[in-house]
Amino acid sequence: MIHKVKLQSEHLHGSFNHEYKPILTVHSGDSIQLTTPDIQWGYSTSKGEAKTFFTSREQEAKPAHPIVGPFEVADAKAGMVLEIRVNELVPGWYGENWAGGVQNWQNEKLDLIKSERIQVNWELNPLTMTGTCKLGEQTFHVGLQPFMGLMGVAPAEPGLHTTPPPRYCGGNIDCKELVRGSSLFLPIAVDGGLFSIGDGHALQGDGEVSGTAIECPMDFVDITLILHKEKSLQMPRANTPSGWITFGFNEDLNEATATALSEMVELIQQFHNVSKVEATALASVAVDLRITQIVNGAKGVHAILPHGSIR
């Protein structure tokens, strides 16, 4: 079954809380089609149209990312796994990113702390998947690789949880590999799952070093939610066009790296029926460790096992 969800404030929230009421109940194998606003809670359908701004239905004091949901998955129980299959992503016609000023990781070697903060305005072409901006008198062009920065289920811990840091149950992962054709697998922490999605990115480099990607609305998002009752996970993992991916999140980059690697070694053990030390040897020659982002409080690292790299 395909569910079409309208972009409106009643469908948006800016935090996680497992007590939030779902906006829709879906069944395993159902698809959801929706539109998401930009990072500033705005949306415009075309260049000549003014933005419409939305608000959070939960009325948080400081809502962060605008996310659509939560969606309840029928029969979902804590301990199961939810697969989010990304079928289609179409960015809107515009995007922005920011740089300069105080960065939360404060790398003084880049001399950003004392610099003026700038906003870069991008014009996006979803047909050619290209983006254009002007910096001073120069025009720059990039190829787009859209993905959703935030996909997560509600955490088991009570109370309100802000959206920026990624968690064991997903959220603001900001991994540029989660493009169309990817499947993200999340450990379900509470009955019903309570899945939410948002934070459209038209293009991002690993690390997201200025603090933002090309933040954009998504004109069209098509995902399928699949419940895996017999599987279990401790951390998110993904199967993407590039390969299998495992994740680590921690304020300490070394700890995040260790988690991503440990999860990958476990995955290789499952795939190839080898010991932990044997899987570690294989990982050392076939797996790439990459910095997902360093700007969301909990830093992210992802390990990639390219398809066909171990046979």
Q: Compute the distance between CA of residue 15 and CA of residue 7 in angstroms, rounded to an integer.
A: 17
Q: Please write the tens of the pLDDT for every residue from 138-182.
A: 999 999 999 999 999 999 999 999 999 999 999 999 999 999 999
Identity at 132, one-letter amino acid code: T
Identity at 85, one-letter amino acid code: R
Percentage above 70 pLDDT, the chain: 95
Which DSSP category does 103 fall into?
-
Identity at 174, one-letter amino acid code: D
pLDDT at position 117, please?
86
The predicted model gives 293-305 an average pLDDT of: 95
Q: Compute the distance between CA of residue 135 and CA of residue 15 in angstroms, rounded to an integer.
A: 34
pLDDT at position 109, please?
55
Q: Please write the tens of the pLDDT for every residue from 267-277.
A: 999 999 999 99
Q: Compute the distance between CA of residue 246 and CA of residue 263 in angstroms, rounded to an integer.
A: 6
pLDDT at position 108, please?
53
103: confidence class by pLDDT, cuts 50, 70, 90: low
Judged against a pLDDT cut of 60, whether residue 191 lies above it is answered with yes
Judged against a pLDDT cut of 80, whether residue 101 lies above it is answered with no
What are the two backbone dihedrals, phi and then psi, of residue 261, each rounded to the nearest 5 degrees? Answer: -70, -45
The pLDDT mean for the chain works out to 95
Domains annotated for the chain, with CATH where assigned, are 2-97+142-236 (2.60.120.580), 242-306 (3.10.28.20)
pLDDT at position 105, please?
47
107: confidence class by pLDDT, cuts 50, 70, 90: low
Percentage above 90 pLDDT, the chain: 93
Q: Which residues pair with 138 in a beta bridge?
A: 135
Judged against a pLDDT cut of 70, whether residue 259 lies above it is answered with yes
The predicted model gives 183-203 an average pLDDT of: 98
